[in-house]
Amino acid sequence: MPRTSAARIVIIGAGQAAAQAVASLRAEGFDGALTVVGDEPFAPYQRPPLSKTYLAGTFERERLFLKPDAFYAEAKCELVLGTPARAIDRAKKTIALADGRSLAYDKLLIATGSRVRRIQVPGADLPGIHYLRAIADVDSLRPAFQSAKHLAVVGGGYIGLEVAAVARKYGLAVTVFEAMDRVMARAVSRPVSAFYEAVHRAAGVEFQMNTGVEAFEGSGKLEAVRAGGKLYPADVALVGIGVVPVCELAIAAGLECQDGIRVDPFCATSDPDIFAAGDCTRHHGRDGQLIRLESVQNAIDQAKHAALAMLGRPVPYREVPWFWSDQYDLKLQIAGLAGPSDKIVLRGDPKARKFAVFHLREGRVAAVEAVKAAPEYIVGRKLIAEGAIVAADRLADLTVPMKNII
Ligand SMILES: Cc1cc2nc3c(=O)[nH]c(=O)nc-3n(C[C@H](O)[C@H](O)[C@H](O)COP(=O)(O)OP(=O)(O)OC[C@H]3O[C@@H](n4cnc5c(N)ncnc54)[C@H](O)[C@@H]3O)c2cc1C
């Protein structure tokens, strides 16, 4: 695309990927008109603190925002907030907004993120049942924590467990209901699941494993959760059972979608003038498998690659995925993507609350999960990027410093 002031780029969605795309487009020399359309009433903000320090009340709201207001003014980026985009007209290259306006684009970036999966059981609409995705969700959950006595967490994934840890700090009794036989089963190995379950139990959290919630009960407000045929008292519930990509606009516009907007390594959709980045996308990962990532890393890196591609300088997206979770005083850092038949190598002792699990595939490091183990995480990430072959016994040997393993 020629760099002329006539060129117009519109970004739908004002989240993590959008903020990065604005920064990258301007840093890469785009000097045309730039507009970000967001349905929330806020400029782009970071979500990770929502289930951690912001919920705990130790992280100020202003710090959630990814960029100061002055950044958008200096970048000459128009923010259209509190205004959902309703439709994309690919023939006319326009976006219809909920307020009746129409925006023209030369290139479009869809960065609509994901939304929470809602639980479909009787009583699911009772007051007292919460989800956690946005600032508004925390603003209603935090007061509930101040008055409630018993929290039911539905789903033992990252969000549910992070909220459980914060709730214990508020002094709430907490019961986690998990349909699988271990926590965070989608994302971590068995040793890491077992470690986190033990940590939460030691902090007073109760678990009902292999137990799906059947109903929420109460007259006018939540009073109990029915699960496994039994009733458990609860006056507040947090449902964390995953997210679904927001791709209705893309589907309606006829873009190729399959549990996410399909993008190529340059973040282009099936329309060469439309790109997508972040939680709403599905792409081929480093191993060639189709994946959908829900992480800050993916949103930032895809936004960078989408910006380059929109400016006619495409570079393929090959970054190693990474993720983190904070529960109590424990930082879990994960790099790479584990596979079901990886050889698992434990380095360190979970009882010391500081260890790492490496995943070896055909001798190469495919993923690392590190608990309070920054060197293992940092070196592990490098080993994954390099496709390094490493002997399992050296990885497991704490007398071999991580820096010597490379
Ligand atoms: C509570 C919580 C904790 C998390 N913790 C971590 C963590 O520890 N580490 C980590 O790596 N990741 C974490 N994540 C995930 C991470 O925040 C997301 O992967 C990231 O925000 C994705 O960025 P995005 O730009 O794709 O989407 P988002 O940041 O969700 O932004 C998308 C925006 O688009 C808006 N939108 C949707 N449709 C429209 C429309 N039609 N018109 C206008 N606007 C629209 C949405 O409302 C939203 O504001 C967490 C997420 C949550 C919710």
Pocket test for ligand 1, best of 296, 326, 381 (most atoms within 8 A of CB): 296
- What does the alpha-carbon distance between residue 174 and residue 236 come to, in Å, rounded to a whole number? 10
Give the model's confidence band at 73: pLDDT under 50 very low, under 70 low, under 90 confident, else very high: very high
In degrees and rounded to multiples of 5, residue 358 shows phi and psi of -100, 145
In contact, 278 and 110? CB cutoff 8 Å: no
Distance, CA 364 to ligand 1 centroid (Å)? Answer: 32
Mean pLDDT of the chain, nearest integer: 96
Mean of pLDDT values over 340-361: 97
Q: Treating both helix axes as pointing N-terminal to C-terminal, what angle do 16-27 and 296-310 enclose, rounded to 10 degrees?
A: 40
How many angstroms does the Cα of residue 20 sit away from the middle of ligand 1?
Answer: 13
Q: What is the pLDDT of residue 6?
A: 44
Any idea how long the chain is?
406
Determine the average pLDDT of the residues in 157-161: 98
pLDDT tens figures, 240-292: 999 999 999 999 999 999 999 999 999 999 999 999 999 999 999 988 899 99
> CB within 8 A of 248, min separation 6: which ones?
none
C-alpha 348 – ligand 1 centre gap (Å): 34
Integer Cα distance of 8 and 320 in angstroms: 31
Q: Which atom of ligand 1 is nearest to the CA of 15?
A: 31
For residue 334, is pLDDT > 70?
yes
pLDDT of residue 3: 46
C-beta separation of 109 from 11 below 8 A: yes
pLDDT at 397: 97
**What is the three-class DSSP state of 389?**
strand
Residue 312: CB atoms within 10 Å:
10
Pocket test for ligand 1, best of 40, 46, 83, 112 (most atoms within 8 A of CB): 112
3-state secondary structure of 334: strand
Q: Can you spell out the DSSP letters for 280-319?
A: TEEEE-TTS-EE---SHHHHHHHHHHHHHHHTT------P
pLDDT digits (tens, 9 = 90+) for 196-242: 999 999 999 999 999 999 999 999 999 999 999 999 999 999 999 99
pLDDT more than 70, % of the chain: 99
How many A from CA of 114 to the centre of ligand 1?
6
